[in-house]
Amino acid sequence: MLKSIENIDNMILSHISSFKIRKVDKLMIYITSVGNNGGIWLVFGFIFLFIQGYRKIGLQIFVSVGLSALMSEAVLKNLVKRSRPCDDIHQKFILIRKPSSYSFPSGHSTSSFAATTTVLLNHGFWSTLSGTLFATTTLLLAITIAFSRLYIRVHYPSDVVAGMFLGISCSLCVLKILTKF
């Protein structure tokens, strides 16, 4: 089973590397940097803390991103200890400085989908056009950040998918717990 996943991962990464474009390289480097340490999501959370009616969402983003970072960076990466694609077979394609942590799961994807799930599940965003545009933009940004991790060759597709599911799960747990309080 693991060998099949590795084969699919490598096939997808090979396909992505077949359409490298220099201008896209620069864009993907920028997009992945926006997701570093959950930075963009923490900025959104911070902004929401100062907007009346959205403070709860700001708090939920902070807690969701924090929990997702704890689960991905401190727990799962150190349990699984999966090497990165740039360590294995795609060294010549890496576009950024090689991350020092393990590959599984993608922390960028985890934090992106933790924050995005929080935004998407707060129904207030869907009641206005601007809220709908913000929620949609948040989802597109999360998907783009996750894809950038594949494009720059620091994660396997299964790392990104696992990070997405972990982020969604962390956000759902936080929303359930915080709604009880």
How would you write 133-174 as a 3-class SS string? HHHHHHHHHHHHHHHHHHHCCCCCHHHHHHHHHHHHHHHHHH
Identity of the highest mean pLDDT range in 30-34, 48-52, 110-114:
110-114
> Would the pLDDT of 94 be above 60?
yes
Stretch 131-157: mean pLDDT: 91
Phi-psi region of 6 (alpha: psi -120 to 50; beta: other; left: phi over 0): alpha
pLDDT bin (cut points 50, 70, 90) of residue 125 is low
| Residue 91 domain-assigned (yes or no) | yes
The torsion of the CA quartet 135, 174, 72, 79, rounded to 10 degrees, works out to: -150
Enter the DSSP assignment of 82.
P
> Would residue 89 count as lying in a domain?
yes
pLDDT score recorded for residue 138: 92
Q: What is the pLDDT of residues 54-86, one digit of tens each?
A: 888 899 999 999 999 999 999 999 999 988 887
* Full residue range of the structural domain in which residue 41 is found: 25-180
Helices (H), the chain: 2-17, 22-34, 39-49, 55-69, 77-80, 85-88, 107-121, 129-151, 157-180
Flag whether 11 is in a domain: no
pLDDT of residue 10: 85
CATH number at residue 78: 1.10.606.20
Residue 17, pLDDT score: 77
More confident position, 130 or 166: 166
Decide if pLDDT at 53 tops 90.
no
* Within a domain: 33: yes
Phi-psi region of 38 (alpha: psi -120 to 50; beta: other; left: phi over 0): left
How many domains does the structure of the chain reveal? 1
State the DSSP code for 99: P
Cis status, amide bond into 99, omega within 30 of 0: no
pLDDT at residue 126 tops 70: no
113 belongs to a structural domain: yes
Asked whether the predicted pLDDT for residue 13 surpasses 60, the reply is yes
